[in-house]
Every structure is written in structure tokens, then in C-alpha cells.
Amino acid sequence: MNKLTKNQIVLGIAAVLLSVIPLTVRAQQLPSQQTPTSSGVIVQGVTKPYVPAKPWFNMAGTVLEVPVVKGQTVKKGDVLIRQDDRQEKAELAKLDAEAASNVRVEAADADLKIKQAQLDRLLSLKATGGANPFEIEEAQSKVIYGKAQADIARLDLEKAKRDAEKQRYKVEQMTIKSPVDGRIETIDTGPGDITDPQRPVISVVQNDPLKVQFFIPVVQSNKLKVGDDCQVRYPGEDNWYPAKVMVKSPLADPASDTQEINLEMKNTDSRDSGMQVQVRLPASIGPAAPTGTANADQQK
């Protein structure tokens, strides 16, 4: 048997990948399984988190504490992870003190007041010859300079306030708080780790309400509107739960002629997401047309 060359091996691997990838994509686009009933079509769906949040730090830093554990229930605003912000907080305290101090402005105003009084005294002496033009001109220049110094002091104070505000934002960004009411799905860091600003460090899922996802043929999705009522049931149970159409994907898949539908369903029982469910569509939707029928209709 002849040995395969390097080029032949590479071409063989590429052919395998090209043959597998399209099949994977098509598998994700297949319509959900349907069961026609007297009360409406039932399709298979899956529950998903209403909000899957994966926050990360926007700057590298050392993790100081992680006060939560995987699976824990959290409220919006709860602290999830905090970087070591002690040095940045010390800098913030210094800037806050500078922003709150009016000493430089008061000193500049007092100096200007003195220089203005000296100018006024020279102007009063001018009429009696007690002051020469050079003295008056010098005093006027000092007043102008004093006014400029007072303005600079006010600008510096405003800058100090902005610097403190900027530092406060930086300190706040060193603490990740939960953006939603939910549960901790994953924690990808720990105390002492250096965070990567390009990678999430934790995952929080909001499971109330739940999102229900399924795919149906376009001929059915065209009859479904956002806000329409549907019903959802968990396998092996008798109870149907009300749900509403939340989103119809604005892009249908031409290969499978399907469209993604998302429902919103309250989760009063605090069930986990990722569960298989049955979705009963409104009776007006009707069953999906067989492929042969659909093609025949298109040819007419």
C-alpha cells in the first residue's frame, strides 16, 4: 500500500469536516416533532433561561472574594465576585477629599480681594497725585492675574470632582453584582486568581419566567403572532401551563423551511431550565402541510 502524502491527509481531513458541519447545522434547524390532536397541534420544545447572564471584569485584577456558590439563589444586586480593590478605594478616598475641599478656591478669592482693595486704594489716590500710573498699571495686572488664579482654582475643583467620579466607577467595576434574580450556574474563578478581561467569570440564569423554544414549519409560523396564547406541559404530567408567544425569529431557515418560536411562561414552581416540554399551539394553527403537498402548492 502506498503511503499517503501529507497533502492527501490534509485533504481527507478537510473533506470529513466539510461533510460533517452541514449535517450538524441542519440537525439544529429540524422542525420540532408534532402530534395532531382534537384540541390543537402539540409540538416538542425545551425550556431555556429567560436571561442567561455571563458577566466579566473589564480589567485584569486579583480576585479577593467569591461569596456565592454554584446553584445558589441570588437577587439582583447581590455581590457575586470582588477583585482586590483596596488600593483603588484608598485612591478614591484621597480624590474624594480633594473634591470636597474648597480651600484653594477660598484662598484664591481672598488673594483677589486683597489685590482689588489695593487697586481701589491707588485709584482713589490718583486724583490727589498720591499714585503714579505705573503703580496703578501694576495693581491692575495683579487683579487680572488674581481673577485668573481664582478661575483656575474653580476648574481644578471641578476636575477633582470628575476624577473622584471616574475613580468611583473604577472601584464599582471591580465588583460584579448579579444583574438578575436567578441562580448561579457556573463559577469560573476563585480567590487569588487573575481575571481575564476577555472571559466571563461567572454565569447566572434567570429561570422565572422561563423561555420555551421550538421550531415549526413556516406555513404554521405565519399563522402565529406575538402575544398569542399557547399551553405548555411537562412530560408525564397532566397540568398545562399558560404561555405566550414572546418572539418569532425574524429569519426563517430556508433549508428546513422552519422558524424559531420562543414562548414566555411563568415558573411559579421554580423548575430548572433545559427541560423537554410539550407545547400545544392554538387550534387555528393547524397541522404542518406534508412536504409533497407544500411542493405541489408552490408549483400551482
Q: Which domain holds residue 141?
A: 86-172
The string of pLDDT tens digits covering residues 99-151 is 999 999 999 999 999 999 999 998 888 778 777 888 889 999 999 999 999 99
In a domain, 230, yes or no: no
The string of pLDDT tens digits covering residues 254-277 is 999 999 999 999 999 999 999 999
In a domain, 297, yes or no: no
In a domain, 16, yes or no: no
Number of domains in the chain: 1
In a domain, 296, yes or no: no
Q: Say what the pTM is.
A: 0.71
In a domain, 270, yes or no: no
pLDDT of 24: 42
pLDDT of 16: 53
Q: Mean pLDDT across the chain, nearest whole number?
A: 87
In a domain, 34, yes or no: no
Cis previous bond, 55, omega within 30? no
The string of pLDDT tens digits covering residues 11-27 is 566 555 555 444 444 44
Helix (H, G, I), strand (E, B) or coil at 22: helix
Query: Which segment of 28-37, 50-59, 147-156, 247-256 scores lowest on mean pLDDT?
Result: 28-37
Q: How far apart (Å, rounded) are the C-alpha atoms in residues 230 and 234? A: 14
How far does the chain reach from its first CA to its final CA, in angstroms? 57
Are the C-beta atoms of 61 and 194 separated by less than 8 Å? yes
Among 243, 177, 213, 228, CA closest to 49: 213
In a domain, 226, yes or no: no
- Count H helices and E strands in the chain, helices first: 6, 12
pLDDT of 131: 79
The string of pLDDT tens digits covering residues 187-220 is 999 999 999 999 999 999 999 999 999 999 999 9
Q: How far apart (Å, rounded) are the C-alpha atoms in residues 230 and 168? A: 47
In a domain, 130, yes or no: yes
User: Would you place residue 29 in the very low, low, confident or very high pLDDT band (cuts 50, 70, 90)?
Assistant: low
Q: How far apart (Å, rounded) are the C-alpha atoms in residues 206 and 183? A: 7
